[in-house]
Each structure stands twice: as C-alpha cells, then as structure tokens.
Structure 1
Amino acid sequence: MIEGTPLRADARRNRARILDAAEAVFAEFGPRGSTEEVARRAGVAIGTVFRHFPTKDDLLAAIMKQLLTQLVEDADQRDLFDFLTHMVAQAAAKKTVVDLLAGSGVDIRLPAAVNQLEDAVDRLLHKARAAGDVAATVRLPEVMALLAALCQGALHGGWDEQLQTRTLAVIFAGLKRN
C-alpha cells in the first residue's frame, strides 16, 4: 500500500476485518499468533494481510493506533471519570498486544494519535472543572501522568477488577473538589 493513497471501500473493509481478527488472534495466542490465522479469521488471503501490513510489527502498531483513535472517539461520549475507568479497562484488555509490541523492539511512535488523546483528556478535564467535579488546581500534566501510571498498572500482573476499582476510587477522591 502506498502511504497517503486513499483505500477503496473493499480495501478499507478488509483492513478493518484484518485488524479486528489480529486483535482477537493475538489476545488468544499471544506471540504464537500467526498472520495466517489472522488472514483465516478475517476471511482474506495471506497476501491481503501483507499488502496492508508488511510485517507482524506493522500489524501490531496499527492495532495500537486504532485503539488510540477509538479512545479519542470514546472520550466525546464520556465524562472524565468514566473515561479514565474505560481507558484503564482497555489497557488491561489490550495487554497482550502491548506486550508483543514491547518485546518486538519496534519503536512505536504515534505522536498524532497521542496528541489527539491528550487533547480529548484536556477537554474532559475542562468540563469536569467547569462542572465543579474536579479541583481547579488539577492540570492536564497531572491527569496524563495518573493515566499513564494507571495503564501501566493494568498492563502488569496482579491487576484485577477489584484492585482497579479501589485504585480508581483513590485517584478520583484526589481529583475531586474539596
């Protein structure tokens, strides 16, 4: 695929099916997940997978980019606290893909997607402060640092739903107005 070239409708559908299938395959099989299994589940030929994603690392990076894009879209439907909860849950759910990327040595830099996510969190923070739900002293860098720490926690062992709930409760209490 030539960078910047718009995809035909059928190619966009194939790409979406490949990404969905890849996410499921890697979640199920971890590093043993194969592009052949991705192609089978997506209902496309292996050549179609490689046309869109020349390497497994390209496929993993695309999954992460799609996740960040989806999180930005999700932010518009949520308040700050609900969004932070959702994002931590997504980090836990995508642990396998993140682990695979970390182990691959791929330098995954998605500055545009990360900047969009930061902008979305900033909008949510402004709304929460305006509504009086968050202390006026809370700033974006602190919220992003907390979010990064929460997501890191979700990516490491021992993070279950109860620990997630308790941890979020502590953080939310600290963000709220006194």
Structure 2
Amino acid sequence: MRQDARENRERILAAAEDVFGTRGAAGSTEEVAQRAGVGIATVFRHFPTKDALIESALLRHYERLGERARALADHPDPAEAWRALVRALIETGATKLTLAATLSDRTQTPAAAMRAAKHLKTAVGDFLHRAQAAGAVRESVTIDEVYLLIRALAQACATAPTPPDTRDRAITIVLDGLALP
C-alpha cells in the first residue's frame, strides 16, 4: 500500500473511532470522510461497508490499547504502570463499548475483535499480577473483578455524559479500592 493510502487509512480509522465511538449509529461515513479530510469514495475504497469501517475502528482501538500496554510493560514502577493502564482502559472504554454496539446486524462481536480483547485481557492480567507481586494491589483481586469494574465505569460514561474530573475521581476511587490498605 502506498504511503499516502496508508496515511488516508489511518486518518479514516481515527475519524471513525471518534465519530462512531461518540455518536454510535447516529454517526455517518460522510462525517468520517469530512473529519479525515478525504472524499467518501476514499472511505469506501478502504472499507466497503459501514460495518467494515466500524469493525476496523474497533480493532484499531484494541491495537492502540495493546500498544499502550506494551509501552508500560517496562515501566520500573509496577504500581504506577498498573494505575496508568487501568486508567487508559476506563477512559477509552466508553468508545469501545459504543463501537461494539454500533456494529449492525451482529449478534456477537467479530472474531478478530474477540481475539484482540482476549490478548488485551491477558496483558492486563499480567499487569495485575506484577502489581500484586509488588504489593500494590490486594492479592485477592482477580482479573474478572477488575474487568467488571472497568466495564461498569465505561458503561456509565457511555450512557451518561460524565465530566472528566468526575470520571477521574471515580477511577481513583476504584484504583484505591483495589490497592492494599
């Protein structure tokens, strides 16, 4: 793929994540094209259907979170890396939930997205174990409990506009609750 085509694709995916991740089904491919600075034909040249575009935006979302996890993996402070990763998951969770819910005619999440989600959950589990070994998180906490809390806050933010400072305080409360006293 030519460099300009790769750049167009990336701009389209970023715009789609923003448009469909905030507006859901009310978002349009025309709005994506406009935000990406390309014509609608360019959008459909890369993504033949709206669902293909949304699915690719969801996969991009997981890829970016995976990149964030890899960047934090070498952080010298396991507690700080843990807090940063959980914060990123919650802060972007509403976008992920909205993208997944926007896929039309789907009774289940696409297989590629399921694999990406599983890989990410494994990485988050590794961060959890590392933070627990460092004494930063209660030993009794499981990855399933962490994911339930992440989903709960993400769902709340997806369904009701939440001021960033309120969301940030809620994340801090969750993280403090998981930490050793």
Aligned-pair CA distance for 1:24: 4.2
Distance in 1, matches of 2:137 and 2:25, equals 41
TM-score, scaled to structure 1: 0.78
Contact in 1 for aligned 2:97/2:155 (Cα 8 Å): no
Q: Structure 1, residues 2-54: CA drift from partner, whole Å, max 9, x if none?
A: xxxxx454433232121123334446866454323433443444333223211
Hey, what does 2:102 align to over in structure 1? 101
Contact in 2 for aligned 1:134/1:177 (Cα 8 Å): yes
**Among residues 130, 133, 136, which one is paired with 1:130 in the alignment?**
133
Q: Judging changes above 3 Å, is the alpha-carbon distance between structure 1 residues 144 and 41 closer, same or farther for their aligned structure 2 residues?
A: closer
Segments of 4+ moved more than 4 angstroms: 7-10, 24-32
Give, as a single letter, the amino acid of the residue that structure 1 aligns with 2:82: L
- The aligned runs of 1:72-87 (5 Å cut-off) are 72-78=66-72, 79-87=81-89
| Structure 2 stretches lacking a partner, 5+ long | 73-80
- The aligned runs of 1:1-178 (5 Å cut-off) are 7-26=1-20, 31-78=25-72, 79-92=81-94, 94=95, 97-98=98-99, 101=102, 104-106=104-106, 107-109=108-110, 110-178=113-181
Contact in 1 for aligned 2:137/2:178 (Cα 8 Å): yes
Contact in 2 for aligned 1:30/1:100 (Cα 8 Å): yes
Q: Judging changes above 3 Å, is the alpha-carbon distance between structure 1 residues 174 and 25 closer, same or farther for their aligned structure 2 residues?
A: closer
Identify the range of structure 1 (28-37 vs 163-172) with the bigger mean alpha-carbon deviation: 28-37
Hey, what does 1:3 align to over in structure 2? none
Contact in 2 for aligned 1:95/1:155 (Cα 8 Å): no
TM-score, scaled to structure 2: 0.77
Distance in 2, matches of 1:28 and 1:115, equals 24
Distance in 1, matches of 2:171 and 2:145, equals 15
Aligned-pair CA distance for 1:130: 1.8
The alignment yields a C-alpha RMSD, in angstroms, of: 2.8
Distance in 2, matches of 1:96 and 1:58, equals 17
Give, as a single letter, the amino acid of the residue that structure 2 aligns with 1:101: T
Give, as a single letter, the amino acid of the residue that structure 2 aligns with 1:159: T
Distance in 2, matches of 1:163 and 1:97, equals 20
Identify the range of structure 1 (76-85 vs 115-124) with the bigger mean alpha-carbon deviation: 76-85
Contact in 1 for aligned 2:69/2:123 (Cα 8 Å): yes
